[in-house]
Amino acid sequence: MSANLGLLIVIGVLSACGVYLILERSITKMLLGIVLFGNAVNLLILTAGGPDGAPPIVGRTRTDAESTADPLAQAMILTALVITMGLAAFVMALGYRSYTLTTKDRVENDPEDLRVIQTRRSRADAPDQDRSDDPVTGEPSLSGDAFDAKGNPIPLDQLPDHDLVDEDTAEDDRR
C-alpha cells in the first residue's frame, strides 16, 4: 500500500496547527484547535484505510479483495466525527459560560493554583513524613526507622530508640 505524500503533509500541518491552537489561552482558539486536530486524525485514519478511490465493498471474488478499501476505517471516521462535534459543542458551552461570567475569552491561571505555588512549605510539613524523618529538614534519618540502609529489617532490641509506641497510646491500652 502506498500513501499519498501530499495528504500526509496536510495531516502533519493540520496536526501541528491544531496542537498550537489547543495550547493557546483563548477558548475560541482552543475550540478551533480541537476541530483541526480531529480532522487531521480523521484524514490519517482515511489514509491508513486503503488505496485512494477504492470502494469499501465491491463483491465476493478474491480478485476484488485487493482493490477494496477497509470499511472499518470509514466507520471509525464517522464515529470520530460525532465525538469531535460533541466535544466541540461541550467546549463551546464551557466558553459561553466562561464568557458570561468573566466577559473574557481568555483562560487565566487559577488563583488557588497560584496561591499553592507561592506558599512554600518545608519538607518536614510533607504528608508523607513519619517519625523517622528529621523534623527540620524532612530528610530520612535512622532514628525510628526499623530498616538499615540496604532495606533489611533491624531487630527491635538493636534499634537506637526502643520506645516504638507513643506513651499516650500505651496508657490508653493499660486502662
Which pLDDT tens digit goes with each residue over 24-69?
Answer: 999 999 999 999 999 999 999 988 877 766 777 766 665 655 667 7
pLDDT band at 128 (very low <50, low <70, confident <90, very high): low
Q: Phi and psi dihedrals of 107, rounded to 5?
A: -95, 120
| Residue whose C-alpha is closest to residue 156's, from 148, 164, 165, 167 | 164
Q: Are residues 153 and 111 in the same domain?
A: no
Q: Which of 116, 136, 158 is the last residue of a domain?
A: 116
Q: Which of 72, 91, 116 is the last residue of a domain?
A: 116
Give dist(CA 34, CA 26) in Å, integer: 12
Give me the torsion for CA of 52, 57, 58, 60, rounded to 10°.
Answer: 130
pTM of this structure: 0.59
Give dist(CA 117, CA 70) in Å, integer: 51
pLDDT at 162: 42
Q: Are residues 37 and 56 in the same domain?
A: yes
Q: Are residues 99 and 130 in the same domain?
A: no
- The amino acid sitting at 45 is I
Structural domains in the chain (count): 2
- Expressed in percent and rounded to 5, the helix, strand and coil fractions of the chain are 55, 5, 40
